[in-house]
Amino acid sequence: MTIEKYKIEEYNHQLMQEHQRKLDFIKDEVNGAEEILQKLMDFQVAIPSWALGTGGTRFGRFGGGGEPRSLEEKIEDIGLLHALNQSSGAISLHIPWDIPENANNIKALAAQNGLRFDAMNSNTFQDQPGQQLSYKFGSMQHVDKAVRRQAIEHNIEVIKYGVELGSTALTVWLSDGSCFPGQLHFRRAFQNTLDSLQQVYAALPDNWKMFVEYKAFEPNFYSTTVGDWGQSLLYATRLGEKAYTLVDLGHHLPNANIEQIVALLLMEGKLGGFHFNDSKYGDDDLTVGSIKPYQLFLIFNELVEGMDARGMNHATDLGWMIDASHNVKDPLEDLLQSVEAIMLTYAQALLADRKMLNEAQLQNDVVAAQEILQAAFRTDVRALVAEARMRAGGALKPLAVYRKEKVRENLIKQRGLKTVATGL
Ligand code: AOS
Ligand code: ZN
Ligand code: ZN
Ligand code: ZN
């Protein structure tokens, strides 16, 4: 199914008067509104192929129907999101869940939908049917060289698929670790992992990046071999200049200061990419901005400040991706909400008065610093984000159009009620 452009324009037209009033107000309030609008239009967030179906937990899964049954249908779904918000112009694939049978056709279909291929994701956290050796005790860390070899070869295969599709990054998330004290020799696990990663790194094309994603715990509950940003940074530094750390917002121990982590990784030129989501307890993979919107703002504040300090291009120099899972929401509605939350927060970070903040910091004026940040965070930028979306050809209110056009009902009609998308 597709949503015709004229339909979106019709809906926009109905809302125009109200929108214009709000836009005029905010344009009056902030400096450099046009510049912010352009940055918002340029900013694209990649949608993970595994987030288009219902996720579920180990206690069960309650499918919502009409889920994509193939890579083609996943691309179609993201095409729908992108038509509505014009900010989801990329897809992050997962091998083996999304093996492209015919790369040229898949590339053409993505292009038709205005999508490019962001980072490719490998999978050595599950055993696949017919797989020779098991990852039960790890993949790249494994004591058996043959298992490590298998994991390395899989990652090299993922790069090959990515090259065919025009992707330029590989995300490696390893579930390697241990469940009990004594199970693992930490240094040996680190060395084996480094050695394995080095062999994958050697197969990376020149224009590619490698993202090393860390995660505090789960599925291993005693130790994780890429468990925090320190370990990830250590691997990335040892690997070389094409290797970077990837920050997934849900992968920290409780109360970690993620904005500080981001600031330091940027300072070192080692921040490569992002997995946006939100969490209350752990790797909850909840809708972006649904639990801790102020934390998200503080992270974006550091991102904008740090990227500007290094002269980086906000839209292209980092890999912006969502990593989400949905238990009770329609996945597409959830993703619309997540992208919206990212754009709103990015806009707020763009309008923070950084010059004043810097002065306040130099004066040790703690109160002023807080006022400046919170003034930006409390600014209602919804009309700005909506305007950017409309100028790019999207909907002023994507979620409303999605519901009025009965997208899910139509997808269920087309694909059936009992569909299971491959993914987490
Ligand atoms: C796992 O917890 C990580 O967040 C991964 O980035 C991701 O969920 C996984 O690679 C999906 O395949
Ligand atoms: Zn992730
Ligand atoms: Zn995760
Ligand atoms: Zn996750």
pLDDT of residue 423: 63
Q: Residue 138 domain-assigned?
A: yes
pLDDT of residue 1: 87
Whole-number average pLDDT of the chain? 97
d(CA 259, CA 286): 19
Percent of the chain topping pLDDT 90: 96
| Cα(334) to centroid(ligand 4), Å | 15
| Cα(13) to centroid(ligand 2), Å | 38
The enclosing domain of 159 has a CATH number of 3.20.20.150
Least Cα distance to 323 among 288, 294, 271 occurs for: 288
CB of 121 sitting under 6 A from ligand 1: yes
Helix (H) or strand (E) holding 120: strand 120-121
CB of 283 sitting under 6 A from ligand 1: yes
Atom 1 of ligand 1 has which residue's CA nearest to it? 173
Span 371-398, average pLDDT:
98
Using pLDDT thresholds of 50, 70 and 90, give the confidence band for residue 389: very high
CB of 173 sitting under 6 A from ligand 1: yes
Q: Residue 181 domain-assigned?
A: yes
Q: Residue 355 domain-assigned?
A: no
Least Cα distance to 44 among 9, 75, 11, 81 occurs for: 81
Q: Which ligand has the nearest atom to the CA of 94?
A: 1
Q: Residue 34 domain-assigned?
A: no
Dihedral Cα 225, 219, 152, 70, nearest 10 deg: -150
Sign of CA dihedral 127, 121, 274, 117: negative
Q: Residue 28 domain-assigned?
A: no
Domain count, the chain: 1
Q: In ligand 1, which atom is closest to the CA atom of 323?
A: 8
CB of 275 sitting under 6 A from ligand 1: yes
The answer to whether the pTM exceeds 0.90 is: yes
Q: In ligand 1, which atom is closest to the CA atom of 121?
A: 10
What ipTM was predicted for this assembly?
A: 0.96
Q: In ligand 1, which atom is closest to the CA atom of 250?
A: 4
Residue 60 is classified by DSSP as: B
CB of 248 sitting under 6 A from ligand 1: yes
Record the tokens describing residue 248, joined without a space: 């997934």
Among 74, 173, 217, 225, the mutation site with the greatest number of ligand 1 atoms within 8 A of its Cβ is 173
Could you count the other beta carbons within 10 Å of the beta carbon of residue 268?
Answer: 13
| Cα(402) to centroid(ligand 2), Å | 27
Q: Which ligand has the nearest atom to the CA of 276?
A: 2
Residue 51 is classified by DSSP as: G
Q: Residue 402 domain-assigned?
A: no
Tens-place pLDDT, residues 30-47: 999 999 999 999 999 999
- Please give the residue range of the domain that contains residue 271: 45-349
Three-state secondary structure along 255-290?
CCCHHHHHHHHHHCCCEEEEEECECCCCCCCECCCC
Atom 6 of ligand 1 has which residue's CA nearest to it? 173
Q: In ligand 1, which atom is closest to the CA atom of 246?
A: 6
| Cα(279) to centroid(ligand 4), Å | 10
Q: Residue 160 domain-assigned?
A: yes
Using pLDDT thresholds of 50, 70 and 90, give the confidence band for residue 419: confident
Using pLDDT thresholds of 50, 70 and 90, give the confidence band for residue 420: confident
Q: Residue 57 domain-assigned?
A: yes
Residue pair 395/85 in contact (Cβ under 8 Å)? The answer is yes
CB of 270 sitting under 6 A from ligand 1: no
Long-range own/partner contacts, residues 53-62 (CB < 8 A, 24 or more apart): 53/331, 53/419, 53/420, 53/421, 53/422, 53/423, 54/326, 54/327, 54/331, 54/421, 55/285, 55/325, 55/326, 55/327, 55/423, 55/424, 56/325, 56/327, 57/327, 61/327, 62/327, 62/328
> Is the backbone peptide bond immediately before 219 cis, with ω within 30 degrees of 0?
yes
| Cα(186) to centroid(ligand 4), Å | 24
